[in-house]
Amino acid sequence: MEEYLNKKVSSIEFGFMSPQFIKTMATVKIVTPELYDKEGYPVDGGLMDIRLGVIDPGLRCKTCGGKLKECIGHFGYIELARPILHIKFVSLIADMLKSTCRDCGRLLIPKQRIDTVMEELDRVEKEAGLVARRDKIKEIISTTKAIKQCPYCKAKQKAILIEKPSTFLEEEKRLSPIEIRTRLEKIPDEDVVVFGINPKAMRPEWSVLTVMPIPPVTMRPSITLESGERSEDDLTHKLGDIVRINQRLFENINAGAPEIIVEDLWDLLQYHITTFFDNEVAQLPPARHRSGQPLKTLTARINSKEGRIRNNLVGKRTNFSARTVISPDPKLKINEVGVPKIVAMKITVPERITEWNKEYLKKFVEKGPNSYPGSNYLIRPDGKRKRITDETKEQILEELQPGFIVERHLMDGDIAIFNRQPSLHRMSMMCHRVRVLPALTLRLHPAVCTPYNADFDGDEMNLHIPQTEEARAEAEILMDVQTQLISPRYGLSIIGATNDSLSGMYVLTQKNFVVPREEAIDILTAIGVEDFSALPNKKQITGRELFSTLLPEDFNFTGYTKAYKPGIDDADAVVHIKSGKLISGCMDKANLGEGQGLLLRNLHKYYGSEFALDLLGKIFNLGNEVLLRHGFSVGIADVDISEKGEAEITKNLTQAEEDVEYLIKTYREGKLEILPGRTALETLELRILEVLNKARNKTGKLVSDTANKDTDIMRMIKSGARGNLLNIAQMSACVGQQALRGGRINKGYTDRTLSVFKKGDLGYAAHGFINRGFKHGLRPYELFFMSMTGRDSMMDTALRTPKSGYLYRRLANALQDLKVEYDFTVRDASKKIVQFNYGEDGLDVSKTEGGTINVKYIIDTMEGD
């Protein structure tokens, strides 16, 4: 057996590298900017020195002896000819220079005050934490800058100015990094603490570099182009510059060159080292490639979404995953996913050979990689991976023995994690069972579109296959579709019947819906019910009886349909299920829709998630099957209105138009009663909007009163599958006011919206009121107004997505560490208590019924006993 070492990193300490540390850590001193010699072999003491690690296959690292991918690389160092300021610490250096004595290096605060200051700092940290301490430090330092005389050696202090990015001036005279370094050296350890520096982690003078670490070649690998030419990494380029200038500076100093030349080179070296750390310093021109694009140096590598932290450390990439277009397949179970065969033959599942399954696994190896179900790889106990091909499989078959791992093709029933981006909630990643199917798309049951927020207009989804037993167990227990039925957002079922399925269920459960027994059995067979004993022994079976066969025999439920209005006594608006029989009420969105009503929630609660999932699938398909057999179609005639209705609507609209005219007239005469805090024109706009909105609403009501109720379009609306009455009103009678930015349309030309109107026209038509329905067709300017609002809402969506995405990221980042502890308090990562009891009662929303425990239901059922 392999030996498992379980090491865990328990903490990470941060600190500043001292020159001593840099030298000790380094394996090479870099002395030449050259990279390779004539043969293309790395130069000793050059930036690609093989003691820094290897990036070429075949070579061995001179430090550790490892090959490519074995050796993680080693640091080198260069000795700087003159000290250089570290750009990231310039503000800290400025603080220290300004607040310490230029002679003796002491902090410009008398001894006894330092003690009180330190005490206060410790107190603040104890009370409010490290952040508060840092703020306090800033406060203290800003007061010391004004002190003009050292309280210790009485030396006069001079004003120090920074000339950004990294030049220090002391009363016009420039301070060289050497001087700065000597001053920083003088600051004693006990004073350093006041600047927030931990003397154990850092000495101030270290921020002026005298030696510089050279990162290993493994973090700046060169790429070999097709032509055989080498293209070096940006960091290597920058380091080359540094080493070159450093060497020149050395030579010039040794040769006794004039001070000006030395200073110039020194500044150049400062520039190169600054841009090595950060190529986006505000006052410096960024270092560029020959092509003109800026170099990507250290800071740019770490920062931002594409940087090391967010892209490589927090974000991980996986193997054993697939991605293609999705399409629906209602014949699948809800917790299944249809996987194309071509995918199933590429993605594998590792299975270890034991005495007991040897024969079973042998079959996969025999089949090879090209016929299904076969296998692609064999892993030997020593970790060697062997590709199974048609040629090698005979030989591999012979050496098979317990302990080997066969990577076999994906098969029906394997566990997969299915995901659609954006993964906004945990239902965006659920565990499904694999069903290998022909064709090239991933298939899913249409009922799970809601949690994934998927449709089939070209959406793609991802599939992951867990590779270890632990991962599979966790996926199965925690992520299975049936465990995710109840949304933790509101505690109701997130999967329900949608669209056609809802319409179908609505049609089926109407009072007078009957089907012959043969058809009932046909439907039940189609949805996967094989036991017909629950079906009443009659020739004609009502829709409700048919639906009831799916329900458990002891299920009782009372709920309301969508049509229910409190106070109106309509027996059919109340859903009544007694002993598993639907007695009254029809099935519509209020009971079968996602996130609505307690019917699905109760079924889940009392009969378990497995049952609920199965039932959901059956209900979903039942609706579809009913529509399939009875037809369901929509035409323009469905929105026709009787002549009488038409007349009433016209009358209503004319009345509104007259009202608007009247308002405009009173406004022009200056007689309009002005609303508080508004101008006359604003008042007019508001009043007109009010009138027109009223008119539109009234039209809607008229339409719903007069429209033919016996159409499929109305059934769709009533069941909640799609559409609402407003849609009908817009089609048949009146599209209504086009609103832009919360008012009527007022943009366009001077004093008018479009050139077809007169200047100053305040009328309803000129500002976007469309008084006819879509059925009648739009006038050109009406179409234009509609496009205006259409564009506006498009922009709205485009602007909203990144905004809400950022809000979500911030929320997730702020709250991710909060968890329920063993004492049932909610605490953050530092064990600070956020809540004493989660949500004040400790209930997990996904285990509740819409956020509460249904006390009434409990009492009612107990009463019944």
Residue written as token pair 């200051």: 117
Q: Which residues have C-beta within 8 Å of that of residue 262, sequence separation ≥ 6? A: 82, 249, 252, 253
Min dist CB 621 to other proteins, Å, is 27
Residues recorded for the chain: 865
Number of Cα atoms under 13 Å in the Cβ half of residue 160: 25
Task: Closer to other proteins by CB, 536 or 595: give it.
Answer: 595
Least separation in angstroms between residue 846's CB and other proteins is 8
Please give the backbone phi and psi of residue 314, each rounded to the nearest 5 degrees, phi first. Answer: -85, -30
Closest CA to 407 of 433, 376, 436: 376
Our CB check for other proteins shows the closer of 571 and 807 to be 807
Does 254 bind other proteins (CB under 8 A)? Our answer is no
Nearer to other proteins, 72 or 439 (CB): 72
Could you say which of 3, 13, 139, 643 contacts other proteins (CB under 8 A)? 13
Distance CA 672, CA 680 (A): 7
What is the C-alpha separation between 577 and 741, in angstroms, rounded?
Answer: 48
Please report how close the Cβ of residue 22 comes to other proteins at its closest, in angstroms.
14
**Residue 254 Cα distances to 251, 258, 261, 686, angstroms:** 5, 11, 12, 84
Binder of other proteins out of 25, 118, 155, 201 (CB under 8 A): 201
Among 45, 66, 580, 595, binds other proteins (CB under 8 A): 595
Comparison of 642 and 816: residue with beta carbon closer to other proteins: 816
The C-alpha angle 208, 214, 219, rounded to 5 degrees, equals 130
Closest CA to 461 of 481, 444, 482: 444
- Whether residue 55 contacts residue 218, with contact meaning beta carbons closer than 8 Å, is answered with yes
- List the one residue from 5, 12, 568, 637 that touches other proteins (CB under 8 A): 12
608 binds other proteins (CB under 8 A): no
Amino acid identity, position 89: F
Q: Which is nearer to other proteins, 110 or 805 (CB)?
A: 805
Q: Which residues, 6 or more positions from 582, have their beta carbon under 8 angstroms from its beta carbon?
A: 509, 544, 545, 547, 548, 551, 575, 576
Q: Is 601 in the site for other proteins (CB under 8 A)?
A: no
Under DSSP, the state recorded for 749 is B
Closest to other proteins by CB, 77 vs 757, is 77
Distance CA(807)–CA(814), nearest Å, equals 11
Decide: is 686 part of the binding site for other proteins (CB under 8 A). yes
* 255 lies in the site for other proteins, by CB under 8 A: no
Q: Residue 12, exposed/middle/buried by CB under 10 A (0-12, 13-18, 19+)?
A: exposed
The residue from 5, 255, 260, 855 that contacts other proteins (CB under 8 A) is: 855
* Number of chain residues interacting with other proteins (CB under 8 A): 105
**Min CB(147)–other proteins separation in Å:** 23
**Region 470-529 residues binding other proteins, contact defined as CB under 8 A:** 474, 478, 488-492
Question: What mask, x for binding other proteins by CB under 8 A, covers residues 74 to 103?
Answer: --------------xx--x-----------
Q: Does 704 bind other proteins (CB under 8 A)?
A: no
Residues from 552 through 591 that contact other proteins (CB under 8 A):
none
Per-residue DSSP letter, 409: E
Residue closer to other proteins by CB (options 255, 855) is 855
Which run of H or of E encompasses 116?
Answer: helix 111-128
Q: Does 672 bind other proteins (CB under 8 A)?
A: no
Give 339's strand partners: 436
* CB-CB contact of 49 with 73 (8 Å): no
Query: Does 10 sit near other proteins (CB under 8 A)?
Result: yes
Q: Shortest distance, CB of residue 673 to other proteins, whole angstroms?
A: 11
Residue number, 3 or 569, with CB nearest to other proteins: 3
Strand, coil or helix: 498: coil
Contacts of other proteins in 425-444 (CB under 8 A): 425-426
Smallest separation, CB 857 to other proteins (Å): 10
Verify binding: residue 14, other proteins, rule CB under 8 A.
Answer: yes
Task: Check residue 72 for interaction with other proteins (CB under 8 A).
Answer: no
Residue (of 485, 477, 716, 478) closest to 600 by Cα position: 485
Contacting range for other proteins; rule: CB under 8 A; set: 50-58, 213-221, 608-616, 796-804: 796-804
200 is a contact residue toward other proteins (CB under 8 A): yes
Give me the residue label for tokens 């809601």: 450
The reply on whether position 456 binds other proteins by CB under 8 A is no
Q: Which of 30, 80, 202, 415 binds other proteins (CB under 8 A)?
A: 202
Note whether 36 binds other proteins by CB under 8 A.
no
CB 416 within 8 A of CB 434: yes
Return the closest-CA partner of residue 31 out of 261, 240, 255, 263: 240
Among 171, 669, 822, 864, binds other proteins (CB under 8 A): 822
In terms of CB distance, is 644 or 856 closer to other proteins? Answer: 856
Three-state DSSP class for residue 433: strand
Closest CB to other proteins among 29 and 426? 426
CB of 137 to other proteins, least distance (A): 10
Shortest Å, Cβ 125 to other proteins: 11
Task: Select 401 or 804, whichever has its Cβ closest to other proteins.
Answer: 804
Helix 90-99 vs helix 177-186: angle between axes, to the nearest 10 degrees?
60
Pairing of strands 429-437, 336-340: parallel
- Report the distance separating Cα 496 and Cα 547, nearest Å: 15
CB neighbour list of residue 19: distance below 8 Å, 6 or more residues apart: 206, 209, 210, 211
For position 395 contacting other proteins by CB under 8 A, the verdict is: no
**Residue 137 or 520 having the CB closest to other proteins:** 137
Q: Which of 154, 387, 665, 741 binds other proteins (CB under 8 A)?
A: 741
- Which residue among 2, 3, 5, 8 contacts other proteins (CB under 8 A)? 8
Least gap, CB of 19 to other proteins (angstroms):
15
Site string for other proteins, 111-140 (x = CB under 8 A): -----------------xxxx--x------
DSSP labels for 198-228?
Answer: -TTT--GGGGEEEEEEE--GGGS--EE-TTS
- Whether 406 and 351 have beta carbons less than 8 Å apart is answered as yes
Q: To the nearest whole angstrom, how small is the minimum distance from the Cβ of residue 431 to other proteins?
A: 14
Which is closer to other proteins, CB of 293 or CB of 801? 801
> Nearer Cβ to other proteins, position 14 or 356?
14
Q: Is 808 in the site for other proteins (CB under 8 A)?
A: yes
Least distance CB 591 / other proteins (angstroms): 16
Task: Indicate whether 747 belongs to the interface with other proteins (CB under 8 A).
Answer: no
Helix (H) or strand (E) holding 160: strand 160-163
Phi and psi at residue 285, in whole multiples of 5°? -70, 135
Q: What is the largest CA-CA distance in the chain?
A: 115
Residues 157-196 that bind other proteins (CB under 8 A): 196
Please state, in angstroms and rounded to a whole number, the distance separating the CA atoms of residues 544 and 542: 5
Least separation in angstroms between residue 695's CB and other proteins is 13
Q: Contact, 714 vs 727, CB < 8 A? A: no
666/835 with CB nearer other proteins: 835
Positions in 273-332 near other proteins (CB under 8 A): 278, 299, 302-303, 307, 309-310, 313-314, 316
Single-letter residue type at 838: Y
> How large is the C-alpha radius of gyration of the chain?
38
Q: Which of 188, 528, 790, 805 binds other proteins (CB under 8 A)?
A: 805
Contacting residue, 25, 223, 397, 859, with other proteins by CB under 8 A: 859
Closest C-alpha among 642, 648, 741 to residue 698: 648
**Least distance to other proteins, CB of residue 167, Å:** 20
Please tell me whether residue 574 adopts helix, strand or coil conformation.
strand
